[in-house]
Structures are given as structure tokens and as C-alpha cells.
Amino acid sequence: MITSLTRRAFTGASVGLAFAAGRPGLAIAAPSIAVLAIDADPPTLNPALSTDYATGDVGAKIFEGLIWLDRTYNPQPSLATQWQYAPDGTGWHFTLRDGVTWHDGKPFSADDVVFTFNEVLARFHPRTSGVLRAIGARVEAPDARTVQFTLAKGYAPFLVQMSVFDAPILPRHIYANTDILANPANQMPVGTGPFRFTNWTRGAAIHVQRNPAWWGDAAGLDEIVFQIVPQPANRSAGLETGEIDAVVDFYLPKPDEPRLMQEPNLQFRRGINIPAVYFLAFNTKRPAFARKASRQAVACAIDRDRLVRQVMRGLARPGYGAFGDGFKWLLDDADSYKRKYPLDPAQARQLLAQAGYDGKSVSLVYDAARPQLRATAQIVQDNLRAIGMPVELAPLERAVEMDRVFAKHDFDLTLQSYFSAGDPAIGYHRMYLTQIGDKALTNCTGFSDPDVDRQLAEAAIAPDRDHRAEIYRRLQVVLNEQLPSLVLFDEETVDFASRKLTGLWPAIDARDQWGGVRFAAN
């Protein structure tokens, strides 16, 4: 079923070695190895350079942020044990944890934090770099256990963004005075977390083992194997057969999830998730979608309710507007997609004619390993064919897809998904901000509006949520009209694991806080 080594094979090999090393007749307990399925090789194992989902999945076991977020978004201590802030939000003071070492034995200090923010996150992180520029952050270390952030402007979700997914702390002694993007540690990472990297067999598996020097209680698992399983159906089948111990929702076909929820050997967590949107991005520099009328035509043609029914099996909500519907405090029903773009193929054809569409086929690029994207692409193709727009599907391996979309901008349409990371300023602003350069997983549409940029910056720093809501509602009027991207649906997640595992999912993000996971005693 699964072509590369399974947990059974790994365990068997480990037991044999352990027994041979021991005295004859002495039984040695088999190591506890959890197999987690991912869909493809990550582009990097450094989560400071990419928000790729698999990069974050592996990276969250190896690296740590200053804090982590529990299931109700409350920040909890990680590399920082305490924090204080100025009333206006322009100053943050973090006290760092004592006794932390990197996986290579070097001591962790405030210099690592300062270096990470100033030299890596501010330059390369797809979400955090723009925020740090917008708020004018200055990061300093008064001493080895203190980090001081001074902001030119307050920033409402600042603390939320200090987790491993947006601010993973890197070792200065490995990255300083190197080409950050080409550093070998991006493929062989050194972190401070509960697990340390051991090896990566491309196309097969990534291995991490318990970090015996971790500052926390010893990790409950000896090893985690990230099994690379390209076929979505095989990930579901692996859960059912027990060859795979856990799979987060991102990697699973939605049609399989109702069946998996009935499987007695599995446990699941439903509905506790960070808001996330799946969207169709238009290349506004291509003739087919240079005019907003053609983009609006697509919005009138795509059956968003059908996507929820057939692609997501009801585990989603139809696209609401530019920022989805996950943050109820910023919504305005008067300008929602439901009112503005009801399903209307006749109107779609009129809008295409108004835009001067020439009838040529358009390309739709997406990640071939994502079952939700593949099924969505087929429905989009069917819907657009019905209004006279032929669509050529271009399913690609993830690294190739990212290069084609975000670096080369060689597409007409592309399917993408973004997690909000707990606040629209963290996860969704990058959909619409003017993009300078070719940065992965940021605005690929070519859309640029200085007034939108200004209002997004204002929404990010406004301390009062009611004021932020007013700004976001104004923005939705503009973005729902200009439509550089069309939100197709908001996702509802269901994460699955074997009932043999305990200590799962203490964090809002199912990929985080695996140090406390273990196999239940027999």
C-alpha cells in the first residue's frame, strides 16, 4: 500500500539491533516510532524561509518560537518564559528560558533571537518579513536572557506571531556570515526542539529522533518518521491499516473523512482550527484576466456550494469574501460574495463579453499532491467551460508549481490555500499587498493598489478591534470588486490519529507540540 518503509519495518529493524546489542535472553523494549504521513518532499526544512505546510510540519518538531498557541489561541511559554509590553504596543520585553541548548550542543541565547529576526525573518519569511517592515521593528539583546522589541507602530497580533510557524528561532552560529538561502542547514536543520533531525531520504521519508537534551520533559516518542505518501488515497488507507499513525487534515481527501470518523481504531479532532481559505488567484498581467470584468465573470460562474458539497463533503463553508468568514468580527454581509456574485452563468458570459475575452484557453496551475485542489480544479474547469472559457489543467509537483507560480508567474489561474495563523494581518494580507520581488507564497497575482497597501498597514497596527473591523470592511468593498483572488471556501479541519497515541493536539495547530505525544501503555 505504502511504497516506502513503514513503521512496522522501522520498528522491526530497531528491535533486532537492540536485541543484538544486549545480553542473550534479555528482552529490550521496542522503540516508540510514530509514522506521520506528508504528501511530498518539502522545499526546505527551515520554516523561517517558507510557510509551506510540510516544512512547518517537520520544522515544528525541530524548532521553537518564543511562544506557542494553545487550543484557544492563548500564548504559552516556549523559548521565552515571560513577556511584558508597553500600553501602546510599541515595546515588548521577553525573558528567555535558561538551560536551552541547540541540537549540536551549543548554548542558546538572545543573540540567536536577534539574529533570526534581523537577518532571516525580516528578509525571507513570507508572512513575517512584511510585518516587521511595516511596524519598523528594532530587535536588541540587553543581555543573554533578554530580548527587547521596539516598534515604530503598535501591531495588534504581535504576540500571536511569535510562534514557531511565523518566528522560528535559528542558530546564529550556523547561519551568521553565510548565504542564508543556500546554507546546508536548511536541509539538515539544527534546532532547540523536542526532536532532532537525523536523515532525509528524498521521496521516501524524513526522520527525527528524541532530543535527549531538550529543556522540557523528555519527548514521549523515540522517533517520528514523516512518510512521504504522494497518493491521497494511500494516506487514508494507511490510517485504516495502522501503517500510518497520524495525518493532519491538510493531507487527507475530504471524501474519505466521514468514513475515517467512523473507524473505531482512530481518534479525531474536528473544528478546532485556525481559519484557512482556499482561493483561485488570477494573473492580472495576463490578457485573459487583466480586466476586472473577466475576474468577476469567473466569480459568477463557479459553483461554490458545489465545491463545499463535492470537494469538501460539507467540511467547509462557501467563499464569503476577500478574507473568508473565519473572523466574524470583520464581516459585512452587505458586500459578501453571496450578494455580489451569486451563481449566474448568463451574467458570467455577459461579463466575459464586456471584458473582451477572446475565447482562448487558460491555464490552471495547482499542486498535484493536494486532493482538495485536484477535485476543485476539475469543478472549476467544468464551470468555466460552461461559460465558454476552456481551461487547461496543469497539476505539478509542489516545488515546480511554486516556482512556476511565485517566481516565473507562468499561469493564468492558480489554486492556493492560506492559513490565517490566528489573525488576518498575519496570514491574509500577503494575498493582496503589493509584492516586490519573487517571494514564495505571497501575492502572485500582480495586483497592486497603494491605497489597499495603506489600509492593510493601518489594519495591522490599530490597537482597537472595532477600528480594525471598520478598515477590513472598507477593504472588502474594494477587494471584492477588484477581485485579484476569489476565495472559494473556508476550510473546516478534521485531524486523525491512531487511538494508541496520547497527548495529541494541545495546540491550535495540529502540527505543533508533539513533545508530549506518546504511545499508550499496553
- CATH homologous superfamily of 7-59+193-272+494-519 equals Periplasmic binding protein-like II (3.40.190.10)
| E strands, 216-330, in order | 223-228, 246-247, 266-270, 276-282, 316-318
- Residues contacting 467, CB < 8 A, separation 6+: none
Q: Which three cell numbers stand for residue 96?
A: 528567555
Considering the domain delimited by 276-491, tell me its CATH architecture: Roll (3.10)
Domain ranges of the chain: 7-59+193-272+494-519, 64-175, 276-491
Residue 192, all three cell numbers? 532547540
| CA distances from residue 257 to 308, 494, 495, 511, 512 in whole angstroms, order as listed | 14, 7, 9, 18, 21
Distances (CA, A) of 145 to 80, 96, 161: 9, 5, 20
pLDDT in tens, the chain (522 residues): 444 434 444 433 333 333 233 334 444 567 899 999 999 999 999 999 999 999 999 999 999 999 999 998 889 999 999 999 998 889 999 999 999 999 999 999 999 999 999 999 999 998 899 888 878 999 999 999 999 999 998 888 899 899 999 999 999 999 999 999 999 999 999 999 999 999 999 999 999 999 999 999 999 999 999 999 999 999 999 999 999 999 999 999 989 999 999 999 999 999 767 889 999 999 999 999 999 999 999 999 999 999 999 999 999 999 999 999 999 999 989 999 999 999 999 999 999 999 999 999 999 999 998 889 999 999 999 999 999 999 999 999 998 999 999 999 999 999 999 988 788 998 899 999 998 766 677 899 999 999 999 999 889 888 788 999 999 999 999 999 999 999 999 988 999 999 999 999 999 999 999 999 999 986
Query: Which residues sit opposite 288 in a β-bridge?
Result: none
d(CA 355, CA 398): 32
Distance CA 420, CA 401 (A): 22
DSSP for 169-188, written as a single string: ---HHHHTTS-GGG-GGGTS
**Which residues are within 8 A (CB) of 272 and not within 5 positions of it... i.e. 6 or more apart?**
71, 493, 505, 508
pTM: 0.78
Mention the CATH class of domain 64-175. Answer: alpha beta
Question: Three-class SS of residue 123?
Answer: helix
pLDDT (0 to 100) of residue 131: 83
- pLDDT value of residue 153: 85
